[in-house]
Chain A
Amino acid sequence: MKYIDEFRDQQQAQAIANIIALEAKSDRHYRLMEFCGGHTHAIYRYGVQDLMPDNVEFVHGPGCPVCVLPVGRIDEAMQLAQEQGVILCTYGDMMRVPAGNRRSLMQAKADGADIRMVYSTQDALKIARDNPNQQIVFFAIGFETTTPPTGVAIKQARAEGLTNFSVFCNHVLTPAALGAILNAEPPVDIDALLGPSHVSTIIGSHPYEKFAQQYGKPIVIAGFEPLDVMQSVLMAIRLLNKDRSVVENEYSRAVTRDGNIKAQALVKEVFEIRENFEWRGLGLISNSALKIRPDFAEFDAEKRFTVSAQPVVDIKACECPAILRGQKKPLDCKLFGTVCTPENPMGSCMVSSEGACAAYWRYGRLRVVA
């Protein structure tokens, strides 16, 4: 497949692996945090770890929008779904995540709630057009990558005069999460970061520059194909060896320093900064999420309906929060593979397609029993 196979080429991989082995200094350990769950899954799905020398270690980051959403917000979505006449539209990833009492949207659907899995915001709009007597709520989640399509849908709904469409907005901001990781107490033990690339197609690479400088950690914007990850590892090692704490862009085929100006303007038009938002694992972070501007209030599900779920405490032994902070790994969790499996998840990291536990379970478990 053109533009895919090139980035999964075994010979190239081996060539980069050889250079990494040569340049990684044998007297030091390299702890690299891959920010995104997409990276974690690429590493395990393609076996990238097998091509790394022993002193290069991947630390998994919080970049999984499903995982960082606190249980309370999913409970609120479930409340919305149970309102009379409401159809809740959600991306597939959310369906199996355990919320309060470990119930998932999938189970709420089996109990009779009208919950539809959609592939894009356009599908949700179509459902709104086709069901004028019902209220369609789109469960919007995701980092900056998925925010513009939500903004487009809201503007389109206004232009079409759709009065039965609203958005339950849970869009979050990557730089805020990065700041929280770098500020964490006790500090997260990492040397460099492989930064988000799809997010950066929207916001550009420049928002990370201040973090690299302030915290003395090189950041390499890394694509999601396995060769991208390997090339980014090499770039990070070179920066560390030269003691250079700067942002470099491996994913230059899609990311520029300034990002997508048009998308940024659209986001600014429809959304504004939310003062506080709770992140699973990272806690309450100020200015870390978006809400819908008052000008578009009629499309804000939080204004149209009453949502007030009780804060929910995570299951005590579930290590998702520490895993999301990069302080623990899935195998450090006592529940992993014993009581917590994809069929019976205790935490979102086990069911999200970008969750670290899911990556270990699906692709990496062979290392557990070996």
Chain B
Amino acid sequence: MKLNIKTGKVDMSHGSGGRASAKLISDLFMKHLNNEFLAKGNDSACFDVAGKRMVMSTDAHVISPLFFPGGDIGSLAVHGTVNDVAMSGARPLYLSASFILEEGFPLSDLERIVISMSNAAKAAGVSVICGDTKVVEKGKGDGVFISTTGVGVLPEGIDISGDLARPGDAILISGSIGDHGIAILSKRENLEFETTIESDSAALNDLVTEMIKAVPSIHCLRDPTRGGLATTLNEIALQSAVGMQLNEAAIPVKPQVAAACELLGLDPLYIANEGKLVAICATENADRLLAAMREHPLARDAAIIGQVVKDEHHLVQMQTRFGGQRMVDWLAGEQLPRIC
């Protein structure tokens, strides 16, 4: 089904990161803006500048609540973009930041956000080198929106892209899934529940550097943010024209996250992460890559969770913990809690 541009309207599912978002991108943005860089379908673009390979990526951040366990919109705006640049194997260097502020927003909160950005940028080894500020009337924004753009340099000999997964490759995850989404949900106004879960929001560029040292020939890297692990793997399966076979028992999920998902009728495979990455590499390198990841504090719980397979339908499938087989589809619409 094509996007109905004539009479359709933007609804919340277009921002979910799932199939509706993908449709909006392919049928509207790509239709008018397409070029060789966008056509790659990655979260960043790589281009040559004066003989060097540069990488650029951008990310807009709208989140409610602005402050959450384990982070805030400021640190998230740095981590999100740093990670998108890092997933190409590049070393992120500089960020730009645009702020859309709502009339009436407390300056003390704004300062808290900017300090957090500053700390996150320092820790990730990047600098915010340009910015912009706009203010909209009260009611026309949600406190603060932040858009960041990042650039980085790609070392020689690195070729990492979502279209390079090959049948037989191993699929790795850097740690437990769903922490960020559940931490956010636990603080939503009408859903507060007690949990010790904190967002995993973190800059992954240092981890990527260590991973590339161990295995320079990594095929794909991607951070499973909106839409979760399931959607990220489906994106890569489609880009690379392959299928995937996962092993549910191998996918790390913290008990608190699993419990919250049970309660709300959600599937952790579709919950957002902000400090995790998926890596795909040739199977003979998988153990070396896994060992290198586990050496890093951000990937102590890394695991090999499945294998790339040949499949003309590009399905992601999973052997369930229970012993059966299921599909792992794209996120459809938004994940909505069930009735009973």
- Once bound together, how far apart are the Cα atoms of A308 and B116, in whole Å? 54
CB proximity to A under 8 Å, residues B93-107: none
State whether A1 touches B339 (Cβ < 8 A).
no
**Residues of A with C-beta under 8 A to B322:** 8, 10, 13, 46-48, 51, 226
CB contact between B326 and one of A95, A198, A366 (< 8 Å): that residue: A366
Given contacts A119-B190, A362-B329, contact A92 B337 (CB under 8 A): yes
Contact B336 A353 (CB under 8 A): yes
**Nearest chain-A residue to B255 (Cβ)?**
A1
Is B339 in contact with A142, judged by CB distance below 8 angstroms?
yes
Known interface pairs A1-B258, A95-B336, A341-B1; A353-B323 also in contact (CB < 8 Å): no
Contact with B along A135-179 (1 / 0, CB 8 A): 000000111011000000000000000000000000000000000
A354 nearest in chain B by CB position: B338
Query: For the complex, is A284 an interface residue (Cβ under 8 Å from B)?
Result: no
B contact residues around A1 at 8 Å (CB): 255, 258-259, 262
The residue in chain A whose Cβ has the minimal distance to the Cβ of B338 is: A353
**How distant is the Cα of A142 from the Cα of B340 in the complex, in angstroms?**
8
Q: Is B313 an interface residue (CB 8 A)?
A: yes
Residue B333 contacts which of A46, A343, A366 (CB distance < 8 angstroms)?
Answer: A343
B332 on interface, CB distance cutoff 8 Å: yes
Check: A342 CB closer than 8 A to any chain B CB.
yes
The residues of A that contact B12 with a CB separation of less than 8 Å are: 106, 109-110
Contact A365 B329 (CB under 8 A): yes
Contact of A44 with B190 in the complex, beta carbons under 8 Å: no
CB distance from B142 to the nearest CB of A (A): 16
A44 / chain B contacts, CB cutoff of 8 Å: 326
Q: How far is A342 from B270 in the complex, measured between Cα atoms in Å?
A: 15
Q: Which of B285-340 contact A (CB under 8 A)?
A: 313, 315, 317, 320-327, 329, 332-333, 336-340
Write the chain A residue with the least CB distance to B9. A110
Q: Is A53 an interface residue (CB 8 A)?
A: no
- Does B40 interact with chain A (Cβ within 8 Å)? no
Tell me how far the C-beta of A253 lies from the nearest C-beta in chain B, rounded to whole angstroms. 16
Output the least CB separation between B256 and chain A (Å).
9
The 8 Å CB contact of B339, one of A91, A106, A109, is A91
**Closest A residue to B313 using CB positions:** A369
- What is the total number of residues of chain B having a CB less than 8 Å from a CB of chain A? 36
In the assembled complex, B33 has its CB within 8 A of some CB on chain A: no
B131 within 8 A of A: no
Interface centre among A66, A95, A146, A361 (most CB of B within 10 A): A95
A312 proximal to B (CB < 8 A)? no
A295 at the interface (CB under 8 A from B): no
Q: A96-B336, A106-B12, A119-B337 are in contact. Are A361 and B262 (CB under 8 A)?
A: no
Complex alpha-carbon distance, A354 and B265, angstroms = 11
Q: How far is the CB of B231 from chain A (nearest CB, A)?
A: 13
Q: Is A27 an interface residue (CB 8 A)?
A: no
Is B320 touching A45 in the complex (CB atoms < 8 A)? yes
Q: Are B324 and A46 in contact (CB under 8 A)?
A: yes
B9 touches A111 (CB 8 A): yes
Q: Select one of B11, B20, B258, B313 contacting A110, CB under 8 A.
A: B11
A14 to B20, CA, bound (A): 38
B209 — which chain A residues lie within 8 A by C-beta? none
A270 to B2, CA, bound (A): 47
Interface string of A194-233 (1 = CB under 8 A from B): 0000100000000000000000000000000010000000
The interface residues of chain B lying within 8 Å CB-to-CB of A226 are: 322
Minimum CB–CB distance from B338 to chain A (whole Å) comes to 4
A361 engages B329 (CB within 8 Å): yes
**A360–B329 CA distance with the chains assembled, in angstroms:** 11
In the complex, chain A residues 57-71 whose Cβ is within 8 Å of any chain B Cβ: 65-66
Q: Are A47 and B324 in contact (CB under 8 A)?
A: yes
- Docked-complex contact A50 and B262, CB < 8 angstroms: no
B residues within 8 A CB of A10?
Answer: 321-323
In the complex, given contacts A96-B333, A119-B264, A365-B329, what are 8 additional A-B residue pairs having Cβ atoms less than 8 angstroms apart?
A: A47-B326, A66-B339, A91-B337, A92-B336, A96-B336, A343-B19, A354-B339, A363-B329
The chain B residues found within 8 Å of chain A, CB to CB, are 1, 9-13, 19-20, 23, 190-191, 255, 258-259, 262, 264-265, 313, 315, 317, 320-327, 329, 332-333, 336-340
| 22 residue pairs bridging A and B, Cβ less than 8 Å apart | A1-B255, A4-B259, A8-B322, A46-B320, A47-B323, A49-B324, A65-B339, A92-B338, A95-B336, A107-B9, A109-B11, A117-B337, A119-B191, A119-B264, A142-B340, A146-B339, A198-B340, A343-B20, A351-B333, A353-B338, A354-B338, A361-B329
